[in-house]
Chains A and B, each alone.
Chain A
Amino acid sequence: MPAIDAAAKGTSGAVKRYKEFASKNAIMLVLLALVLVIGIINSSFFSLSNIRNILIISSVRVIIALGVGGILITGGTDLSAGRTVGLASVIAASLLQRPDYADRMYRTLPLLPVIVPIALAVLAGLVVGLLNGLVVAKLKVPPFITTLGTMVIVYGVASIYVDRPPRGAQPIGGLRPDFTKIGTGYLGPNGDLSIPYLILVAAAIIVCYWIMLNKTRLGKNIYAIGGNSRAATVSGVNVPKNLILVYAIAGCLYGLAGALLAARTGGATNNYGMSYELDAIAACVIGGVSTAGGIGKISGMITGVLIFEILNNGLVILGVNAYWQQVIKGIIIVAAVAVDIRKYLAKR
C-alpha cells in the first residue's frame, strides 16, 4: 500500500488535484461560465440592485435548502418541503391581515403580536416534519414515499384552510405593514447598499444550522447515519431519534420560510411554495450534497441556492421565454444529479 500511494502522489500530484477539483466542481464551473455570459450579454445583470434582489430571493430559498440538505445528508429526501412552506405562509398571512382590509379571513381577530403567527407557522412546519420523521424512522417507509404522501396531504390541508365555499380557495392579501416590513425592510441608508432584514435572518439561520451540523452530536450523527447507518447503529447511535429530529428541524425551517415568503410578497395562497422542494434538492445537489447520503456542506448548499437563483434571474433578464426557463432548469437538475452520481461511482 505505501508503495502504491507514494507512486501516485509523487508523479502528478498537482495536475491530479487540479483535475479532481475540476471534475468535482464541473457543474459549478459551467454555471459560473453561464453567469459571465449572461452578464456580458446584459450588463444590468451585474448591477448592485439586481444582485441585492437575487440575495433577497435567495434568503428564503436558502432556509428551505438547509432543511432539505440536512435530510439529504441522512440519505433521505423531502418532497413535502415546498407544500409545507405554502401551508405556513397561509397560516401566517391569515393571522396578520390588516383590520381595515375588506376580505379579512378572521373578521374578529384581535391584533396579534407579529411573533405569534410566525411561531404558529413554524409550529405547522414542525408538525409536518415530525410526521415525516416518525413515518420514516419508525414505520420505515422510504423517505421518498413518505414525503410524497405528506406533500399531497399538506397541499390539501392548506387548500382546505383557505377554502371559502362556494368561492373556493382564496388568496390572502392585505397584510399588516408591521409584518410585511420583515420581508421588505432593511437596515442602513436608503438605497442599494442597505441590508435587507431577510438577508440578516437567513444569515442567522445559516450560522445556527452550521453550528448544529458541525459542532453538535446531532450533526455528526446525521453524517454518520447517511454515510453508513449500520455503523451508526452498532456504535450505539439512536438512529430513529436522530432522523426524527432532522425532519422536525427541517419542518421548522420550512415554517419560518413560509412566513418570510408571505411577508416579502405581502400575501399568500395555497399554491405558495409549489415545487420549491425540487429547487432546494437541485440547489443542494449542485452544491455537492450527495443524494446517496453522508456528504454535503453548508457552504455547498448556499452556493447551490445562489447559482440556482442567479440562473433564474439571468434567464429572466435575458428575456428567455418562461416555458423555456422551465426546460432549462429541468436540464440543470438532471445534469447536476448525473455529475453527482459520477463522483460517487468514481470513488467506489
Chain B
Amino acid sequence: MGEREFVLEMQGISKSFPGVRALDDVTLKVRPGSVHALMGENGAGKSTLMKCLFGIYKPDSGEIAIEGEKAQLQDSKQALDRGVSMIHQELNPVPYRSVMENLWLGRYPTKGLGPFRLVDHARMRTDTAELFAGLNMEIDPAVWVSELSVSKIQQMEIAKAVSYKSKIIIMDEPTSSLTETEVAHLFGIIRRLKSEGVSIIYISHKMEEILAIADEVTIMRDGRLVGTYPAGELTTDLIIKRMVGRDLSNRFPPRENVPGEVVLKVEGLTSAEHQSFRDVSFELKRGEILGIGGLVGAKRTELVETLFGMRPVASGEVYLRGKRIPVDSPIRGKRNKMALLTEERRTTGIFPMLSVRDNAVIANIDRYVLKTRLLDRKRSEEDVRKSIDALRVKTPGASTLIQDLSGGNQQKVILARWLLTEPEILILDEPTRGIDVGAKYEIYSIIADLAKRGKSIIMISSEMPELLGMSDRILVMCEGRLTGTLDGKEATQERVMELATQFM
C-alpha cells in the first residue's frame, strides 16, 4: 500500500445554526505525519469544523474521508473508532471521578466472562501509570479530577487523546492553561507522535506556537476557507492579515477617550471561594478602558463577578468615588452603577426564548412600572428602539426572539440592556467571544465611544490583540493573584504572557 497523500479530506463542508451560517463550503486536507494548524478568529468556524470531524455535529453538506474512505460520522464513538481523537477546547471532565476513570471513560478495560465482565481496576491503574510515565507527566491516577489544577486537567486531556492511538488527533486550544515549560513538553509529545505517523490538527491563537510546530496552516474567516499554506511561507503579520481580512492597522477603532479621576478603587479583595483570587488591588478611572489579561483559570471572571456581587467576598474593600460600597449581590451591583456583561452569553446572558425587547429591558424593568403596577410598554419600546438604532443591532424588529439573531447582534442587545441601566462602570467579560469579525469591530467602536463619553470600562479578554489594542492599562492575573499592571501603549504580548505565567 503506497503512502496516501492525505490522511484526512474534508470537502465542501457547510453547517448552519439558527441565525448563523457557521461553515460555508470549507475544505481541509491533512497529510499523514504532519502538524496542520487551523487558524482564524473566534467565530471563524474552526471548532465547528472540528466538531463535524469528531461526530458532534452533522454537516449539512460536504464529505469527509479518512484514509481515502468515506466517513459518515453519527457520533463521537464512530470518530474514535475511525482513528480520530480530540482534545476539547472546553475542558469538561467528569469532576467527581478519578483521573483514570476519566481517561478510560467509554473503553474501560474489563476482565471476566460474558455479561459478568467487571472493570479491571488494577489494569486501568497500571495502564494509566504507564501512559503518564511514557508522556513524562506527573498526575496521580487515583485522585479526583475536581482536585486537579486546570493545567493538570489539560495535561490529562492531552494524555487521553494520545492514549487512543489515533491516526488523527485534534487539539483545540491545547495550551490555553499551560505554562511555557508545559507547552514545550507538549511540543515534544507532538514531535514524537509525528515521527510515528500521527497527524495533528492544531488550533491555537498563539502565533509563535503555530510557527514553531506547524507544517501547514489552514486559515478560516467567517466560516469560509481563506486558504492552506506551508507554514514556512507565513509570518505573524501575514496570518493575521488573512485571518482578519484587512490590515492590522485598522483592526481597532481610534480611541479618543481621556482617563480622568479615579472612580473605583479595589483594595485587597479576596474571594471567599475555594482556590479563587486573593489580595487584588487596583484603581479604575473615569473614561478608562482597563483590560484584564491572564490564562484560563487565572480567576479573572471570578474577580469581576465578585465586584458585581455574584460571588462572596472574604475580605477587602471596594470604594466608589471614595465611598466604601458593599458588593454582596447583583442588585447592589446595579445600584452601585455597575453593569456586567457575563462571559457565557448563552448561559448567563440571553433569555433565548424572549424577544429582543424583553431581553433589553429585563435589567431595568423597575423603571417602566406604572402607578397601576403594570408595565409601560410604550416607553420601554421607545427606549429599546433607540438602543437598537444607536448600537446598530441587525434585527427584523424588537419582538424578534433573541435566539434568532447572530452572536454579535445578541451581544449588542445585552450591551443595550446594561446601557439602559445607565451604569458608570461597565464590566465586559470576553465581550467578543464567538462573534464574527465585522461585528467585533462594531463592538470595539461602541466600547471606545462609551469610554469617550466618560464611562469606565473593565474588559477581560483572552485575545491578546484585543487586549493590547483596546486597553489604556492592562491588569494581568495569574493563579488568582494580580501579577502586574501594564500601560496599554507599552505592553507587549511577551510581557503579558510573562506576568500571566508568573507563578506557574
Contact = CB atoms under 8 A, between A and B. Distances in A.
B54 interface: yes
Interface of B: 54, 56, 75-77, 80-81, 86, 88, 92-97, 101-102, 105-108, 110, 117-119, 121, 146, 149, 151, 273-275, 479-480, 503-504
A236 B81 CA distance: 9
A216 B503 CA distance: 41
Nearest to B121: A215
Given A234-B56, A347-B146, A220 B108 contact: yes
Given A211-B118, A220-B108, A238-B77, A230 B92 contact: yes
B80 A215 contact: no
A216 B117 contact: yes
Contacts of A215: 118-119, 121
B146 to A, nearest CB: 7
Contacts of B275: 1, 4-5, 8
Interface of A: 1, 3-5, 8, 211, 215-217, 219-221, 223-224, 227-228, 230-238, 294-295, 346-348
14 contacts: A1-B275, A1-B479, A1-B503, A3-B479, A215-B118, A217-B119, A223-B96, A223-B97, A233-B56, A234-B54, A234-B88, A235-B107, A295-B96, A347-B274
Contacts of A295: 96
B95 A236 contact: no
B94 A294 contact: yes
Between A224, A231, A232, A295, the greatest number of chain B beta carbons within 10 A of the residue's beta carbon is seen for A231
A227 B503 CA distance: 31
A294 B101 CA distance: 13
Contact of A1 (B77, B95, B149): B149
B96 A294 contact: yes
Given A1-B503, A211-B118, A237 B96 contact: no
Q: Does more than half of chain A's interface fall in helix, strand or loop, or is it mixed?
A: helix
B404 to A, nearest CB: 22
Contacts of B121: 215
Contact of B94 (A5, A211, A217, A231): A231
Contacts of A223: 94, 96-97, 101
Contacts of B274: 346-347
Given A1-B149, A1-B479, A4-B275, A235 B118 contact: no
Contact of B107 (A231, A236, A346, A348): A236
Contacts of B504: 1
A210 B81 CA distance: 31
B479 A232 contact: no
A234 B90 CA distance: 12
B146 A234 contact: no
A236 B106 contact: yes
A223 B146 CA distance: 14
Given A217-B117, A227-B95, A295-B96, A232 B106 contact: yes
A8 to B, nearest CB: 8
Given A3-B503, A231-B94, A236-B80, A220 B479 contact: no
Nearest to B80: A236
Contact of B119 (A220, A228, A235): A220
5 smallest CB-CB distances across A and B, nearest first, come from: A236-B77, A227-B94, A236-B106, A235-B106, A235-B105
